[in-house]
Structure 1
Amino acid sequence: MEAPARTLAKETAIAATETEFTAEQVGWRFALGTVILVGAYIAWPMIPFVMAADLDPGFKAGLSGLLGATPFLSKFVAVAVMGRPAYYFLKRNVYARLRRRFAGTPAE
């Protein structure tokens, strides 16, 4: 197990090599990626409607499988749409919030 000071230095070194992007730089691509991520979860509640529909069983199975995998697949599409600036912006902000949230929690 690494010492806390060594781990902190390693995290700081990693963070220092990433380019800092502002909200203005990520712009519409970040917003579109967020809409894709959130909108993909609308697919799951549609599965019961597909199963109740009068469709060919093979088509019904394929469509329900696609709807079930949509939230997973949407993450790849959203990251591709967002691009590197938005990915680093999102990563930096999420990690900063998590660090603040769990800073006082002892590690096990």
Structure 2
Amino acid sequence: MHSTLIVARMAPASGTEVADLFSAFDATEMPGRMGTRRRQLFSYRGLYFHLQDFDESDGGERIESARTDPRFIRISDDLKPYIEAYDPTTWRSPADAMATRFYHWEASR
């Protein structure tokens, strides 16, 4: 499994609206098209954390190819009132907001 973590800023008390937007988005075939296996959203003191898990390590490539889909464009636009780049001066795409994993541990099965 491959994971990505996007970090951004979130408008206070907008968790319900953001969750509703993703709930509708995730009810479509878009998660499958992007290879998303699981999505989790977190907030902490004005920060937004978007954790996505993928079955394969090509999740970034599949997301990139889905970026032109009208549903992807629509959710991106619909999130703008609630989510903004952590550093707007350097943000050009979601890749600019992805955290870098520097440690990983997993229990043996």
TM surpasses 0.5: no
Which structure has the greater CA radius of gyration? 1
Instruction: Give the TM-score of the pair, scaled to structure 1.
Output: 0.28
Task: Return the structure number with greater strand share.
Answer: 2
Instruction: Give the TM-score of the pair, scaled to structure 2.
Output: 0.28
